[in-house]
Structure 1
């Protein structure tokens, strides 16, 4: 009988992703993304392609949702384990005013689950709360 891979370390990796998206703490970036990762998605009707190093720079230079006391939304919508070393995770996450649905390709590299590809979709743009 084949052993089924444990999902707990993968879920911990997804939690690290959610935390990074909220606090922008790039000191933890290498525990979330593989150095060869690519990001793809449409923003303002144009396909954006970002190498992971550019994404890291962008996070480091942007005020975090945490620093703005922005609402936090994060949910795992799907986990698909292809093997003990490869998985696809679909998540919903709010980053400041934008709510995304992300497809995260994970590979277990040196016993650590890392994102090797991220495909993002802007699902919703939240309006700022009125101050009346």
Structure 2
């Protein structure tokens, strides 16, 4: 693995951890820094398909502050292909375990989340 690859994996792992922390604390400013304003947040929840825009996701995160249980997350995988990447993050949110797949694009030496797909694990 080249130094650039190692640097990208490190940056993406840190971005994923910042994402999780911002989500569970309802940190609107940080979520807006991490996500492209046009990002889609999609997945099935309680048998229904959900499609949120960034504003809807931020509102949800702010409304759920303190309702997650023990804050715990792990980065399960990172894949980098040039200037695009995917990161899988497992963590507690709204009292449940979720597995989130983040799609990111590198823009001006900065990784931006362009979409999030989620799966409820428990």
Asked if TM exceeds 0.5, the reply is: yes
4+ aligned runs moved over 4 Å, structure 1: none
Q: Deviations over 1:14-42 (max 9, x none)?
A: 11111112211112112221111001100
1:42-121 maps to which residues of 2 (within 5 A)?
42-60=44-62, 62-65=63-66, 70-83=69-82, 85-121=83-119
Q: Does the aligned pair in 1 maintain the 2:41–2:51 contact within 8 Å? A: yes
After superposition, the CA RMSD in angstroms is 1.9
Q: Between Structure 1 and Structure 2, whose CA radius of gyration is higher?
A: 1
CA-CA distance at 1:3 after TM superposition: 7.0
Given the superposition, is the C-alpha separation of residues 71 and 114 from structure 1 closer, same or farther in structure 2, using an over 3 Å criterion? same
Q: Deviations over 1:61-96 (max 9, x none)?
A: x1413xx5820120111110011x210011101013
Q: Deviations over 1:86-132 (max 9, x none)?
A: 100111010131110111101112322121011101111xxxxxxxx
The runs of 5 or more residues in structure 1 that have no matched partner are 125-132
Q: Partners in 2 of 1:90 and 1:9 — Cα distance? A: 14
TM-score after normalising by structure 1: 0.80
Aligned residues: 119
Q: Partners in 1 of 2:17 and 2:27 — Cα distance? A: 14
Q: Does the aligned pair in 2 maintain the 1:40–1:47 contact within 8 Å? A: yes
Q: Does the aligned pair in 2 maintain the 1:40–1:48 contact within 8 Å? A: yes
Deviates more, 1:8-17 or 1:72-81: 8-17
